[in-house]
Amino acid sequence: MGKALVLGGGGIVGLAWEIGILAGLGDAGVDLRDADLVLGTSAGASAGAQLTSGLDLDELYERQLAPADAEIAARPRWWSTLRVAGALLTARSPEAGRARVGLIASTTARFSQAVREPVIAARLPVPAWPEHNLVVTAVDARSGALRTFSRADGVDLVRAVAASSAVPGLWPPVEIDGRWYVDGGVRSAANADLAAGHDRVVVLAPGATGLRPRPEAELAALPDGTRHTLVVPSPEARAAFGRDPLDPARRAAAARAGRMQAVEVAVRVAKTWGV
């Protein structure tokens, strides 16, 4: 059984908010670093790698307040976003839709992987997999199937996190062992269903779910007896995010908003976590 911490996608601001929430919970005596599973999707993969890096929560938080010089201010072109939505809406099955998104991603990326990997590397305090059970999600660009990566797979951590956060229309699919992968958020904003088998589950879900399964539904489908809490951004945090989740200039404000919001959710999270 055990405890699972699920970190969802939500762009640069979502990553900062998650670190702010985690630091604020730590202030309240609720340290989620003792999770038996840390599951990260998209920006949540970066957050998970940071959380399990061995750095103190305050150090991780301060990194979010520093100038975001290594990040790139960019977003997918509007027409590629529409193509992705159309692919998911009209496909005969979810996997077929995700495979179509993988094809779109391979032809509409705004930047190369050579540009992308240094951005991811700069986010990770330690470029190697932790001893902790960190799992990150991605989607096979050809088949549309879910793929998870962990230390046991022998895959470079930077590459695995880059695959998990390869936003279609912005970043290219990432090659790993002869297969190509796109953002794990194409399947689900949080992939919280993968926490099945753990009896205590906390989900931080900063990103809008759009056409993907909602974390609420994924949590409701977990086995009976699973204690779970879903934390989403407060109205104040949403205001701090601004309109573009990929805007590096909003990172510090999002982190501060997360740390402030942690006060409001600490009791609820503590009950679920058994603190």
46 belongs to the catalytic site = no
User: Do 231 and 269 contact (CB within 8 A), yes or no?
Assistant: yes
Integer Cα distance of 90 and 86 in angstroms = 6
183 belongs to the catalytic site = yes
User: Do 202 and 273 contact (CB within 8 A), yes or no?
Assistant: yes
> Within 13 Å, how many C-alpha atoms sit on residue 232's CB side?
10
Burial group, residue 8, by CB count within 10 angstroms (0-12, 13-18, 19+): buried
Select which of 46, 165, 183, 188 is catalytic.
183
Provide the phi-psi class of 154: left if phi over 0, else alpha when psi is between -120 and 50, else beta.
left
Burial group, residue 120, by CB count within 10 angstroms (0-12, 13-18, 19+): buried
Active site positions, annotated: 42, 183
